[in-house]
A = this chain, B = another copy of it.
Amino acid sequence: MTLDETIRTDIEGRIRSGEWRPGYRIPFEHELVSSYGCARATVNKALTALVAAGLIERRRKAGSFVAHPQVHSAMLAIPDIENIIVGRGEVYRFATANRHVRKARENVAEEQLLREDGDLLAIDGTHFADMLPFAFEERIICLSTVPEASTAVFDATAPGSWLLRHIPWTQARHRIRAIAASPVVAEALAIPVASPCLQVERWTWRSGDAVTFVRQSFPGDRYDLIGDFEAHAE
């Protein structure tokens, strides 16, 4: 372990153990320099990392203080569905149910968010894990940003995996909520109408240009989002 990591984990340990409570003023940089016998840059690197982790706050002239955790900030991994299924050791398949080109519908808020005037490629389909429906997906792709998509064949590879390889996204917005399965979703997932489903919506941009919008519905009992987190102030 490097020296700055040692300093960082030493201080982190004292904070996480409760020895240094929120509000406590940790030693000044020059004090840590003399106690560790190292350069100030090394101490500074460790403390800067603790700021990024939300564990401390620093004020000129006043010193560095253990932060007051306020908000639970959670790092949620939302991987590609194909990766989830293959990672479980199951057989993955995507089946396209519907595919056509159209314009954005004016009264649909989800599509307005993309602020896109050009043609959209709309694709509905189902992700299967070991022949069992895993998720139903409704997607639109902005052909003005991704013209190659109009000729791509989404057979073995789902549109999401294809897009990820062809034009990696740079900005995205997610919305997660619980819905009652509509007749379309229920039929695709082979579950009763109105069953609870976890719905993940994702808008994706590449340097400001809209790339795609997707709404994925998972049977409520077949998929959980799980995340392990550490304290992160504000």
Contact = CB atoms under 8 A, between A and B. Distances in A.
| Interface size band for A | 35 or more
A149 B34 CA distance: 41
A178 interface: yes
A108 interface: no
A69 B220 contact: no
B174 A74 contact: yes
Given A18-B207, A178-B220, A230-B171, A71 B77 contact: yes
B177 A207 contact: no
B22 A220 contact: no
Q: Which of A75, A77, A170, A178 has the most CB of B within 10 A?
A: A178
A185 to B, nearest CB: 12
A172 B227 CA distance: 8
A154 to B, nearest CB: 19
Interface of A: 15-18, 22, 41, 52, 68-80, 83, 164, 167-180, 194-199, 202, 206-207, 218, 220-221, 223-231
